[in-house]
Structure 1
Amino acid sequence: MTVTYVIDGSEVTGLERFWDVIGEAVNGPGGCFGRGLDSFADCLRGGMGTPDDGDFVIEWRDHALSARALSHDETARFLRGLSGRAHTSNLPRLREELAQAEAGRGPTLFDRLLEIIREETAPGTLRLL
Protein backbone atom coordinates (compact mmCIF):
# COMPACT_ATOMS: atom_id res chain seq x y z
CA MET A 1 0.00 0.00 0.00
CA THR A 2 1.39 3.37 -1.02
CA VAL A 3 2.04 5.84 1.80
CA THR A 4 1.51 9.53 1.00
CA TYR A 5 3.47 12.25 2.77
CA VAL A 6 1.98 15.72 2.41
CA ILE A 7 4.08 18.86 2.43
CA ASP A 8 1.94 21.94 2.99
CA GLY A 9 3.78 24.46 0.86
CA SER A 10 2.14 27.37 2.68
CA GLU A 11 4.05 26.35 5.80
CA VAL A 12 7.46 26.46 4.10
CA THR A 13 8.81 29.93 4.83
CA GLY A 14 12.49 29.10 4.35
CA LEU A 15 14.88 26.17 4.38
CA GLU A 16 14.84 25.67 8.15
CA ARG A 17 11.07 25.52 8.14
CA PHE A 18 11.15 23.05 5.22
CA TRP A 19 13.18 20.64 7.38
CA ASP A 20 10.49 20.88 10.09
CA VAL A 21 7.63 20.40 7.62
CA ILE A 22 9.12 17.36 5.86
CA GLY A 23 10.19 15.86 9.19
CA GLU A 24 6.66 16.07 10.56
CA ALA A 25 5.11 14.87 7.29
CA VAL A 26 7.18 11.68 7.37
CA ASN A 27 7.74 11.05 11.09
CA GLY A 28 4.94 12.91 12.87
CA PRO A 29 5.02 15.87 15.26
CA GLY A 30 8.58 16.84 16.13
CA GLY A 31 9.90 14.31 13.59
CA CYS A 32 13.13 14.70 11.68
CA PHE A 33 13.91 13.72 8.11
CA GLY A 34 17.29 15.33 7.57
CA ARG A 35 18.39 18.89 8.22
CA GLY A 36 20.74 19.32 5.28
CA LEU A 37 20.75 18.55 1.58
CA ASP A 38 22.98 15.49 1.95
CA SER A 39 21.12 14.08 4.95
CA PHE A 40 17.80 14.68 3.16
CA ALA A 41 19.06 12.62 0.22
CA ASP A 42 20.17 9.89 2.63
CA CYS A 43 16.77 9.82 4.32
CA LEU A 44 14.98 9.49 0.98
CA ARG A 45 16.95 6.31 0.27
CA GLY A 46 15.08 4.61 3.13
CA GLY A 47 15.25 3.56 6.74
CA MET A 48 14.39 6.95 8.20
CA GLY A 49 10.60 6.70 8.32
CA THR A 50 9.67 5.82 4.76
CA PRO A 51 8.51 2.30 3.89
CA ASP A 52 11.32 -0.20 3.32
CA ASP A 53 9.90 -1.10 -0.09
CA GLY A 54 10.06 2.54 -1.23
CA ASP A 55 6.34 2.61 -1.95
CA PHE A 56 5.57 6.20 -1.03
CA VAL A 57 4.52 9.47 -2.59
CA ILE A 58 5.51 13.00 -1.62
CA GLU A 59 2.58 15.27 -2.35
CA TRP A 60 3.78 18.88 -2.24
CA ARG A 61 0.69 21.05 -2.03
CA ASP A 62 0.90 24.77 -2.75
CA HIS A 63 4.41 24.14 -4.05
CA ALA A 64 4.48 27.56 -5.74
CA LEU A 65 4.45 29.16 -2.28
CA SER A 66 7.43 27.02 -1.29
CA ALA A 67 9.20 27.94 -4.51
CA ARG A 68 8.88 31.63 -3.57
CA ALA A 69 10.12 30.98 -0.02
CA LEU A 70 13.06 28.91 -1.31
CA SER A 71 13.95 31.38 -4.05
CA HIS A 72 17.25 33.00 -4.96
CA ASP A 73 17.20 35.18 -1.81
CA GLU A 74 16.97 32.13 0.47
CA THR A 75 19.52 30.33 -1.68
CA ALA A 76 21.97 33.23 -1.29
CA ARG A 77 21.42 33.25 2.49
CA PHE A 78 22.08 29.50 2.61
CA LEU A 79 25.25 29.81 0.50
CA ARG A 80 26.58 32.65 2.67
CA GLY A 81 26.21 30.35 5.67
CA LEU A 82 28.09 27.57 3.90
CA SER A 83 30.97 29.77 2.82
CA GLY A 84 32.01 30.37 6.43
CA ARG A 85 32.66 26.69 7.03
CA ALA A 86 33.52 25.36 3.57
CA HIS A 87 36.86 23.84 2.70
CA THR A 88 39.07 26.32 0.85
CA SER A 89 38.99 24.13 -2.26
CA ASN A 90 35.20 24.65 -2.44
CA LEU A 91 35.25 28.43 -1.98
CA PRO A 92 35.58 29.41 -5.65
CA ARG A 93 32.54 27.30 -6.60
CA LEU A 94 30.56 28.60 -3.61
CA ARG A 95 31.40 32.20 -4.47
CA GLU A 96 30.25 31.66 -8.05
CA GLU A 97 26.99 30.04 -6.91
CA LEU A 98 26.44 32.88 -4.44
CA ALA A 99 27.04 35.52 -7.14
CA GLN A 100 24.54 33.72 -9.38
CA ALA A 101 21.91 33.53 -6.62
CA GLU A 102 22.40 37.18 -5.68
CA ALA A 103 21.85 38.07 -9.35
CA GLY A 104 18.64 36.00 -9.41
CA ARG A 105 20.11 33.29 -11.62
CA GLY A 106 20.93 29.63 -11.28
CA PRO A 107 19.17 26.90 -9.34
CA THR A 108 17.30 27.80 -6.18
CA LEU A 109 17.00 25.72 -3.03
CA PHE A 110 13.55 24.70 -4.26
CA ASP A 111 15.13 23.44 -7.49
CA ARG A 112 17.77 21.53 -5.53
CA LEU A 113 15.20 19.88 -3.27
CA LEU A 114 13.15 18.76 -6.29
CA GLU A 115 16.30 17.41 -7.92
CA ILE A 116 17.23 15.45 -4.80
CA ILE A 117 13.75 13.95 -4.52
CA ARG A 118 13.73 12.96 -8.18
CA GLU A 119 17.23 11.47 -8.02
CA GLU A 120 16.70 9.48 -4.82
CA THR A 121 13.18 8.13 -5.33
CA ALA A 122 11.28 6.16 -7.92
CA PRO A 123 9.70 7.96 -10.89
CA GLY A 124 6.34 9.42 -9.94
CA THR A 125 7.15 9.73 -6.24
CA LEU A 126 6.95 13.52 -6.31
CA ARG A 127 3.57 15.13 -7.00
CA LEU A 128 3.55 18.91 -7.23
CA LEU A 129 0.09 20.34 -6.58
Structure 2
Amino acid sequence: MTVTYVIDGARITGLDRFWDVIGEAVNGTGGYFGRNLDALADCLHGGMGTPDDGDYVFEWRDHTASARALGHEETARQLRQSLQRADPTHRAALRHRLDEALAGRGPTLFDRIVEILRDEGPGDVRLR
Protein backbone atom coordinates (compact mmCIF):
# COMPACT_ATOMS: atom_id res chain seq x y z
CA MET A 1 0.00 0.00 0.00
CA THR A 2 1.42 3.36 -1.08
CA VAL A 3 1.88 5.91 1.70
CA THR A 4 1.18 9.53 0.71
CA TYR A 5 2.88 12.41 2.51
CA VAL A 6 1.17 15.75 1.90
CA ILE A 7 3.33 18.85 1.73
CA ASP A 8 1.12 21.89 2.23
CA GLY A 9 2.80 24.40 -0.04
CA ALA A 10 0.72 27.29 1.27
CA ARG A 11 2.55 26.94 4.62
CA ILE A 12 6.00 27.30 3.08
CA THR A 13 7.37 30.83 3.38
CA GLY A 14 11.05 30.04 2.96
CA LEU A 15 13.57 27.24 3.31
CA ASP A 16 13.45 27.08 7.11
CA ARG A 17 9.68 26.65 7.01
CA PHE A 18 9.99 23.99 4.30
CA TRP A 19 12.03 21.81 6.70
CA ASP A 20 9.29 22.13 9.32
CA VAL A 21 6.52 21.30 6.85
CA ILE A 22 8.20 18.24 5.31
CA GLY A 23 9.25 17.00 8.76
CA GLU A 24 5.64 17.19 9.95
CA ALA A 25 4.34 15.58 6.76
CA VAL A 26 6.52 12.51 7.31
CA ASN A 27 6.96 12.29 11.08
CA GLY A 28 4.20 14.39 12.67
CA THR A 29 4.38 17.56 14.72
CA GLY A 30 7.98 18.54 15.39
CA GLY A 31 9.18 15.76 13.06
CA TYR A 32 12.54 15.77 11.32
CA PHE A 33 13.17 14.99 7.66
CA GLY A 34 16.36 16.92 6.97
CA ARG A 35 17.51 20.48 7.58
CA ASN A 36 19.65 20.82 4.45
CA LEU A 37 19.61 19.39 0.94
CA ASP A 38 22.14 16.63 1.67
CA ALA A 39 20.20 15.51 4.75
CA LEU A 40 16.96 15.48 2.72
CA ALA A 41 18.57 13.16 0.18
CA ASP A 42 19.80 10.90 3.00
CA CYS A 43 16.36 10.79 4.63
CA LEU A 44 14.80 9.61 1.36
CA HIS A 45 16.80 6.40 1.52
CA GLY A 46 14.83 5.07 4.49
CA GLY A 47 15.01 4.83 8.21
CA MET A 48 13.73 8.36 8.79
CA GLY A 49 9.99 7.75 8.64
CA THR A 50 9.37 6.55 5.08
CA PRO A 51 8.54 2.89 4.40
CA ASP A 52 11.56 0.65 3.91
CA ASP A 53 10.08 -0.73 0.69
CA GLY A 54 10.05 2.75 -0.87
CA ASP A 55 6.32 2.61 -1.58
CA TYR A 56 5.56 6.26 -0.89
CA VAL A 57 4.77 9.51 -2.66
CA PHE A 58 5.06 13.16 -1.72
CA GLU A 59 1.99 15.09 -2.82
CA TRP A 60 3.04 18.73 -2.89
CA ARG A 61 -0.16 20.75 -2.79
CA ASP A 62 -0.18 24.42 -3.76
CA HIS A 63 3.32 23.92 -5.10
CA THR A 64 3.16 27.22 -6.99
CA ALA A 65 3.12 29.09 -3.66
CA SER A 66 6.17 27.07 -2.61
CA ALA A 67 7.88 27.78 -5.91
CA ARG A 68 7.52 31.51 -5.20
CA ALA A 69 8.67 31.18 -1.58
CA LEU A 70 11.64 29.04 -2.61
CA GLY A 71 12.40 31.06 -5.73
CA HIS A 72 15.36 33.16 -6.75
CA GLU A 73 15.10 35.59 -3.81
CA GLU A 74 15.24 32.81 -1.19
CA THR A 75 17.89 31.01 -3.23
CA ALA A 76 20.05 34.16 -3.18
CA ARG A 77 19.52 34.54 0.58
CA GLN A 78 20.68 30.99 1.19
CA LEU A 79 23.65 31.36 -1.16
CA ARG A 80 24.76 34.51 0.69
CA GLN A 81 24.76 32.52 3.94
CA SER A 82 26.68 29.67 2.33
CA LEU A 83 29.23 32.06 0.87
CA GLN A 84 30.07 33.41 4.32
CA ARG A 85 31.13 30.00 5.61
CA ALA A 86 32.33 28.40 2.37
CA ASP A 87 35.75 26.97 1.82
CA PRO A 88 37.76 29.44 -0.29
CA THR A 89 37.99 26.90 -3.12
CA HIS A 90 34.18 26.94 -3.51
CA ARG A 91 33.58 30.69 -3.26
CA ALA A 92 33.89 31.51 -6.97
CA ALA A 93 31.25 28.93 -7.90
CA LEU A 94 28.96 30.14 -5.12
CA ARG A 95 29.41 33.76 -6.19
CA HIS A 96 28.46 32.79 -9.75
CA ARG A 97 25.33 30.97 -8.53
CA LEU A 98 24.47 33.97 -6.33
CA ASP A 99 24.85 36.38 -9.26
CA GLU A 100 22.58 34.16 -11.35
CA ALA A 101 19.94 33.98 -8.60
CA LEU A 102 20.05 37.76 -8.11
CA ALA A 103 19.46 38.14 -11.85
CA GLY A 104 16.48 35.76 -11.68
CA ARG A 105 18.26 33.00 -13.57
CA GLY A 106 19.29 29.46 -12.84
CA PRO A 107 17.77 26.76 -10.66
CA THR A 108 15.98 27.76 -7.49
CA LEU A 109 15.76 25.98 -4.15
CA PHE A 110 12.34 24.75 -5.22
CA ASP A 111 13.82 23.26 -8.40
CA ARG A 112 16.59 21.56 -6.44
CA ILE A 113 14.24 20.14 -3.79
CA VAL A 114 11.90 18.70 -6.42
CA GLU A 115 14.92 17.20 -8.21
CA ILE A 116 16.10 15.57 -4.98
CA LEU A 117 12.62 14.22 -4.18
CA ARG A 118 12.36 12.75 -7.69
CA ASP A 119 15.89 11.44 -8.15
CA GLU A 120 17.34 10.52 -4.77
CA GLY A 121 14.71 8.36 -3.15
CA PRO A 122 12.70 5.37 -4.23
CA GLY A 123 9.43 7.28 -3.81
CA ASP A 124 7.82 9.81 -6.11
CA VAL A 125 6.64 13.44 -5.98
CA ARG A 126 3.41 14.81 -7.41
CA LEU A 127 3.01 18.55 -7.86
CA ARG A 128 -0.58 19.68 -7.36
| Contact 2:9-2:66 within 8 A present in 1 as well | yes
Matched residue, 1:62: 62
Sequence identity percentage: 66
Distance 1:119 1:23 in 2: 19
> What letter is aligned with 1:44?
L
TM-score normalized with structure 1 length:
0.97
For residues 98-126 of structure 1, the C-alpha deviation after alignment (integer angstroms, 9 at most, x for no partner) is 00000000000000001111111247x11
Q: CA RMSD in A?
A: 0.8
1:46: Cα distance to partner?
1.0
Matched residue, 2:72: 72
**Mapped pair 1:89 → 2:89:** yes
Gapped regions of structure 2 (runs ≥ 5): none
> What letter is aligned with 2:92?
P
Distance 1:43 1:109 in 2: 18
Matched residue, 2:47: 47
TM-score normalized with structure 2 length:
0.98
SS for the counterpart of 2:105 is coil
The number of aligned residues is 128
For residues 73-119 of structure 1, the C-alpha deviation after alignment (integer angstroms, 9 at most, x for no partner) is 00000000001111111101000000000000000000000111111
Distance 2:65 2:100 in 1: 22
For residues 34-86 of structure 1, the C-alpha deviation after alignment (integer angstroms, 9 at most, x for no partner) is 00000000001111000000100100000000000001000000000001111
Distance 1:45 1:79 in 2: 26
Distance 1:45 1:106 in 2: 27
SS for the counterpart of 1:54 is coil
SS for the counterpart of 2:57 is strand
> What letter is aligned with 2:44?
L
Matched residue, 1:99: 99
Matched residue, 1:120: 120
